[in-house]
Amino acid sequence: MASEKLVLNFPRGIVREPVVYRLVKDYDLRVNIMRASISPDEAGHMVVEISGDKRKLEAGRKYIESVGVTWQPLSKDVHWRQDRCVHCTACVSVCPTSALSVKRPEMVVQFDEDKCIGCELCIPVCGYAAVEIQF
């Protein structure tokens, strides 16, 4: 069983396509929606974790593309800027998945992109703009 976290970009006009339903029903995939939003111009973004048989996952991605939804791995959209991080640890207590954690006793902040779900809770608490999320 394979699993991947993707950001799906729904261009204007496709928001009515039941993409998640199709992925579940036609491709036998498990879809965990971590967040979803539609902007005022009706373009939308969805952060999902999709798991299932590897071949079916690939087919599912082809289906998504076929209806005009673009996607990229979530890790591509989340950037922990090491050059900006001062390792104050303020982000660590708000991170729900421990993607941001502290290495003790050195008190060094570390980021594990595989654990990040793109919830953005760390963004306002970081005073140094060390986390950037684009989607």
What does the alpha-carbon distance between residue 129 and residue 85 come to, in Å, rounded to a whole number? 8
Judged by beta carbon, residue 92 or residue 116, the one nearer other proteins is: 92
21, 96, 107, 132: residue in contact with other proteins (rule CB under 8 A): 107
Question: What is the pattern of x (binds other proteins, CB under 8 A) and - over residues 60-89?
Answer: --------------------------xxxx
What does the alpha-carbon distance between residue 66 and residue 12 come to, in Å, rounded to a whole number? 15
Using an 8 Å Cβ cutoff, are 101 and 109 in contact? yes
Does residue 106 interact with other proteins by CB under 8 A? yes
Interacting stretch for other proteins, rule CB under 8 A, among 18-26, 27-35, 48-56, 107-115? Answer: 107-115
Point out which residues pair with 111 in neighbouring strands: 100
Does residue 90 interact with other proteins by CB under 8 A? yes
Question: What is the pattern of x (binds other proteins, CB under 8 A) and - over residues 36-65?
Answer: ------------------------------
Point out which residues pair with 36 in neighbouring strands: 46
CA angle 135, 132, 78 (to 5 degrees): 60
Q: Which helix (H) or strand (E) holds 131?
A: strand 131-133
Does residue 91 interact with other proteins by CB under 8 A? yes
Binding positions for other proteins, 112-131, rule CB under 8 A? 124-125, 127-129
